[in-house]
Amino acid sequence: MANGTANGTGNSDAVLRVNDLKISFKTYAGEVQAVRGASFDLRQGETLAIVGESGSGKSVAARSIMRLNPEANTIVRGGEILFDGDDLLKLPEKRMQRIRGPKIAMVFQDPMTSLDPTMRVGRQITESLKKHLGLSGRRATERAVELLKMVGIPNAEERVKQYPHQFSGGMRQRVVIAIALSCEPEVLIADEPTTALDVTIQAQILGLMRDLQERIGTSIILITHDLGVVASVADRVAVMYSGKVVETGTVREIFYQPKMPYTWGLLASIPLLTADSSLELIPIPGSPPDALDPPKGCPFTARCQYAMKVCSEEMPAYTSFSSEHEAACWLQHDMAPKVEPPARIGGR
């Protein structure tokens, strides 16, 4: 009942749809259930932020779209990822190679490890241009220079001949973005793209991503734990916890009318620049459940101050609050007590 109903309203303009995705990993300790039935869709030209803490399954879900999880120990327990009429989970690897890069591209957190330190930056950009767009060597190099200019790297003609270690962290991330956007993909998955960067550089990169999205029309899935970044760039938000999407909505709905106590907790525990610092932060007590043995009911039960008996027994269904806004919480049931979110959040 609870499965696969997120975004059940069905939006025809979705470029990518993830339905009830279940991904596990084999480990010596047992089966780690990283994603346990996550559903979300990505619409044309929008930025969807997937937020959650470490271990919530947000990166695994994103990497499943690209089929980048280690093949040897990944088990697909169910679900589908629909893109261009195909289920990416079932596509043969040969066809997947024609999607990975030109159609769906990815930017990772650490720009040092996603670039080859022994290869000139130019060659790393032209690689996909030659392979996927069939450009000649000279034409590809010209295009690489254009791309570096587009992502704001000064002196691009010289820079294409340099190695990654000659670039600063922010510059490297610009190069990674240039590579990702080189074939003008329909979907860009950015996994914590600014987490390793300083705030002033982060502001540059987020601004760059916004400009490029307007120019190329790429739809973006942004994976982050930083709610400030979410507020600044996302159109819609999916909140993940323990492998499940527990709430989705527009960015304003999630920040101003959140419905799920986990979302409340996330919002109340961040220190704000604008808040009075003499007030205590409200942490979420405890820590997330063990993915080796996830709880049967709502995964947030053990940390939830409003938990009821039913919460630990059965996963709640999604309740819709608007065409976009859904949350999975037993508090929304008719028989549940009416609970107000903490005073610090919402209120608009």
Partner 1 sequence: MTAQSPNGDPNGSPGEDQNGRASDAPVLLEIKDLKKHFRVGRESLKAVDGISLEIKRGETFGLVGESGCGKSTAGRVLVRLYEPSGGSIVYNGEDISYVKGDEAKVLNRKLQMIFQDPQASLNPRMTVGDIIAEGIDIHNLAEDRKGRLDRVHELLKTVGLSEEHANRFPHEFSGGQRQRIGVARALAVDPEFIVADEPVSALDVSIQAQVINLLKKLQREKNLTYLFISHDLSVVKYISDRVGVMYLGVMVEKTVSDKLYDDPLHPYTQALLSAVPVPDPDVEHERERIVLEGDVPSPVNPPSGCRFRTRCPHVMDVCAEIVPEMREIKPDHFTACHLYYDARAEQRESQTATAG
**Residues touching partner 1, count (CB under 8 A):** 56
Record the tokens describing residue 213, joined without a space: 């999205």
The residue to which tokens 């609050």 are assigned: 321
Region 237-256 residues binding partner 1, contact defined as CB under 8 A: 251-252, 255-256
Region 181-210 residues binding partner 1, contact defined as CB under 8 A: 198-204, 206-207
Record the tokens describing residue 198, joined without a space: 């300083």
Query: What is the Cα–Cα distance from 212 to 184, expressed in whole angstroms?
Result: 10
Q: How far is the CB of 251 from partner 1 (least distance, A)?
A: 5
Region 212-231 residues binding partner 1, contact defined as CB under 8 A: 225-231
What three-state secondary structure class fits 44?
A: coil
Choose which of 96, 216, 268, 302 interacts with partner 1 (CB under 8 A).
268
326: Cα within 13 Å, side-chain hemisphere: 24
Q: Which stretch binds partner 1 (CB under 8 A): 4-12, 142-150, 282-290, 308-316?
A: 282-290
In the complex with partner 1, which residue's Cβ is closer, 143 or 252? 252
Q: Is 74 left (phi over 0), alpha (psi -120 to 50) or beta?
A: beta
What three-state secondary structure class fits 169?
A: helix
In the complex with partner 1, which residue's Cβ is closer, 8 or 207? 207
In the complex with partner 1, which residue's Cβ is closer, 280 or 334? 280
Region 112-171 residues binding partner 1, contact defined as CB under 8 A: 168-171
Which residues is 187 bridged to in the sheet? 104, 219
Q: How far is the CB of 204 from partner 1 (least distance, A)?
A: 6
In the complex with partner 1, which residue's Cβ is closer, 12 or 200? 200
Residue from 242, 274, 239, 270 nearest 342 by CA: 270
The residue to which tokens 């080796």 are assigned: 292
Give just the sign of the alpha carbon dihedral 341, 55, 283, 303: positive
Q: How far is the CB of 86 from partner 1 (least distance, A)?
A: 34
Region 77-106 residues binding partner 1, contact defined as CB under 8 A: none
Choose which of 42, 284, 291, 298 interacts with partner 1 (CB under 8 A).
284
Per this entry, what is the length of the chain? 348
In the complex with partner 1, which residue's Cβ is closer, 19 or 47? 47
Task: Provide the 10 A C-beta neighbour count for residue 119.
Answer: 12
Cα separation values, 43 from 34, 61, 83, 312, 345, Å = 25, 17, 11, 34, 28
Query: What is the Cα–Cα distance from 33 to 263, expressed in whole angstroms?
Result: 22
Q: How far is the CB of 213 from partner 1 (least distance, A)?
A: 15
Region 299-338 residues binding partner 1, contact defined as CB under 8 A: 305
Q: Taking CB under 8 A as the rule, does residue 343 contact partner 1?
A: yes
Q: Taking CB under 8 A as the rule, does residue 339 contact partner 1?
A: no
Q: Where on the chain is the footprint of partner 1 (CB under 8 A)?
A: 53-54, 168-171, 198-204, 206-207, 225-232, 234, 251-252, 255-256, 265-285, 287, 305, 342-344, 347-348
